[in-house]
C-alpha cells in the first residue's frame, strides 16, 4: 500500500468533510419527494444517503491527492489491489463474521431462546447480500479507509485506532435507546470498530477483509432474523442485545464476548 508522503490536513476539514457531503446529498434528494409523491420520507432520506455516497466516491481521490500527498488514492485506501489478495481478505473477514454469528445462534438455540426455522425468501436473501456489500463497503471505506487514515496523519498511529472506533460508535443512533441498553450498544460499537481496524491491519492494509467482516455481520444477522431462526420478542437485552423484536447482538453479552475474543486474537496488530 502506498504510504502518504506529506499532509496538509487540518482537524476542522476532517470534521466537516463528511457532514458537508451528507448535507449536499440530503438537499439533492429533496426534489425526489415532489417527483415521486408516493415515496415515504425514509425512502427520500435513503436516496440522500446514496447521493452523499456518490459524492464521497467522486471527491475522495482529490482529497487524498491534495491532503495526503498520494498518487494512487484507491490503492492507499486498500480498495485497489490484486484480485486474488482482495478476495482472500474478503473471505477471511466473511468467515470471521460467520463464526461470530454461529456462536450467537448456538447459544440462542441451546438456551431455548430461539429455534431453527430455515426459511428465507429470495427477496430477503438478495436484501441480505445488498446489506453485506453496500453497508460493508460504504462504512468501511468511510471509517477504516478515509477517517482512520486522516486521524493517523493528524494524531499519530496509536491514538488513531481508538479515535476511529469512537467516531464510528458515536455516529450510530445508540442514544435513541433507553439507559443501559444505549450504553451496551455504544460499548459494542466501539469493540466492533476496534475489531474491524485490527482486521485491516492484519490484512496489511487491504480494506476487503473488514468489508467482509462488517458486511457479513450486518447481512448475516438480517438473514437470520428474516426467517432462518426465530428471534424472541422479549429476549433478555443483556444477553441478546437491545432492540426488542429486532435486537442488535453487538450490544449484548454475546456480541461483547465474540468481539472481545476477536480483538484478543488480533492484539499483536494493535501496534
Q: Would you state the torsion angle of the CA atoms of residues 181, 41, 141, 262, taken in this order, to the nearest 10 degrees?
A: 20
Question: For residue 269, what pLDDT is reported?
Answer: 80
Cell representation of residue 115: 429455534
31 alpha-carbon distance from chain centroid = 29
Instruction: Give the C-alpha distances (Å, rounded to integers) separating 95 from 66, 71, 221, 269.
Output: 37, 33, 14, 19
Helices 157-170, 179-202: crossing angle, 10 deg rounding: 140
Strands, DSSP E only, in 32-156? none
Answer whether 124's CB lies under 8 Å from 227's CB. yes
Answer whether 267's CB lies under 8 Å from 161's CB. no
Answer whether 30's CB lies under 8 Å from 43's CB. no
Nearest to 76 by CA among 149, 138, 158: 149
Question: For residue 1, what pLDDT is reported?
Answer: 61
Burial class (CB in 10 A: 0-12, 13-18, 19+), 115: exposed
Question: For residue 148, what pLDDT is reported?
Answer: 96
Question: For residue 2, what pLDDT is reported?
Answer: 62
Question: For residue 6, what pLDDT is reported?
Answer: 58
Question: For residue 86, what pLDDT is reported?
Answer: 94
Does residue 231 come out as left (phi exceeding 0), alpha (psi in the -120 to 50 range) or beta?
beta
Question: For residue 227, what pLDDT is reported?
Answer: 86
Question: For residue 37, what pLDDT is reported?
Answer: 87
Q: How many Å apart are CA 265 and CA 9, to the nearest integer?
A: 34
Q: How many Å apart are CA 136 and CA 141, to the nearest integer?
A: 8
Nearest to 226 by CA among 131, 118, 134: 118
Question: For residue 231, what pLDDT is reported?
Answer: 78
Residues in Cβ contact with 87 at an 8 Å cutoff, skipping those fewer than 6 apart: 208
- Residues of the chain with pLDDT below 50 are none
Amino acid at each position: 500500500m502506498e504510504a502518504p508522503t506529506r499532509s496538509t490536513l487540518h482537524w476542522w476539514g476532517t470534521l466537516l468533510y463528511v457532514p458537508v457531503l451528507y448535507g449536499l446529498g440530503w438537499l439533492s434528494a429533496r426534489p425526489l419527494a415532489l417527483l415521486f409523491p408516493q415515496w415515504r420520507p425514509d425512502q427520500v432520506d435513503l436516496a440522500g444517503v446514496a447521493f452523499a455516497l456518490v459524492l464521497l466516491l467522486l471527491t475522495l481521490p482529490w482529497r487524498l491527492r491534495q491532503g495526503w500527498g498520494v498518487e494512487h488514492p484507491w490503492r492507499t485506501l486498500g480498495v485497489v489491489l490484486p484480485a486474488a489478495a482482495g478476495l482472500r481478505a474478503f473471505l477471511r473477514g466473511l468467515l470471521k463474521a460467520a463464526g461470530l454469528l454461529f456462536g450467537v445462534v448456538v447459544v440462542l438455540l441451546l438456551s431455548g431462546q430461539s429455534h431453527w426455522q430455515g426459511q428465507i425468501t429470495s427477496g430477503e436473501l438478495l436484501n441480505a447480500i445488498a446489506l453485506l456489500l453496500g453497508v460493508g463497503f460504504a462504512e468501511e471505506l468511510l471509517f477504516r479507509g478515509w477517517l482512520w487514515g486522516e486521524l493517523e496523519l493528524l494524531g499519530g498511529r496509536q491514538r488513531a485506532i481508538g479515535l476511529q472506533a469512537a467516531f464510528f460508535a458515536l455516529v450510530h443512533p445508540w442514544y435513541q435507546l433507553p439507559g443501559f441498553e444505549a450504553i451496551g450498544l455504544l460499548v459494542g460499537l466501539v469493540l466492533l470498530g476496534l475489531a474491524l481496524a485490527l482486521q485491516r491491519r492484519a490484512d496489511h492494509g487491504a480494506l476487503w477483509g473488514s468489508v467482509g467482516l462488517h458486511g457479513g455481520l450486518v447481512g448475516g444477522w438480517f438473514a437470520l432474523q428474516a426467517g432462518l431462526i426465530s428471534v424472541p420478542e422479549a429476549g433478555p437485552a443483556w444477553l441478546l442485545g437491545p432492540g426488542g423484536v429486532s435486537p442488535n447482538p453487538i450490544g449484548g453479552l454475546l456480541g461483547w464476548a465474540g468481539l472481545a475474543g476477536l480483538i484478543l486474537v488480533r492484539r499483536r496488530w494493535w501496534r
